[in-house]
Amino acid sequence: MIINQKKVLITLILALSFQFLQAASFQKYFTKLMKFEGKGFGIHQAIWGNKDFTKNEAFRIHKRFYWDKYHADLFESQEVAEVFIDQIINTGEGKESVNIKAFEAILGVVQNGVLSPEDIKIANDFVFPEQIINPYVNYRLSYYRSRKNFKKYPGWITRAKSFMVADDEGKLLADYLVLPKMLIKEEEHDIVELFKKELLVKK
């Protein structure tokens, strides 16, 4: 059996090209990120060093320590990759990795705070990306509003809402909230405490 090496090579190149076209791009996201961050490029000197960083340095830091660290290039949906990575860049993983666990809760995978390539495969299986994007935006809004100083930074809300997906008539799709288990427990605890206070008042 004679194998045409040229045809095999062309087939491999086409397959890799198709895979690349399906992958989320940090370059595309970086343009949007710079609009959010403005001066300073989103690099916090307290973390990265007391110096003025260039845009190219910011590109490398954001890509290596956020985009690449969380395997964002494995996402087939640019929008899904962006809404997740943007939260991590803006706020970090959060206490006990709550920001990652919230994303995992939406995917329906184990909420261990470690987003794996296997988890991303599950995300890629969603037929409608907005079923991930909009619930996560709603989570982000909930997260920001729980911060004591959120009124001081209205840009947080605007930034999160910019990722929302709507239909042609402007109606939001999959507009609901999914919370990770750790927050549901806390919420239930708060409700119980509130109920106790109401009982004391009635007495």
Going from N- to C-terminal start, the domains of the chain cover: 70-202
The pLDDT value given to residue 10: 44
What type of residue sits at position 122?
I
pLDDT in tens, the chain (203 residues): 455 655 444 444 433 333 445 799 999 999 999 999 988 999 988 888 888 999 999 999 999 999 999 999 999 999 999 999 999 999 999 999 999 999 999 999 999 999 999 999 999 999 999 999 999 999 999 999 999 998 999 999 999 999 999 999 999 999 999 999 999 866 555 544 444 444 444 44
- pTM (2 d.p.): 0.81
The pLDDT value given to residue 50: 85
The pLDDT value given to residue 47: 84
The pLDDT value given to residue 4: 61
The pLDDT value given to residue 145: 95
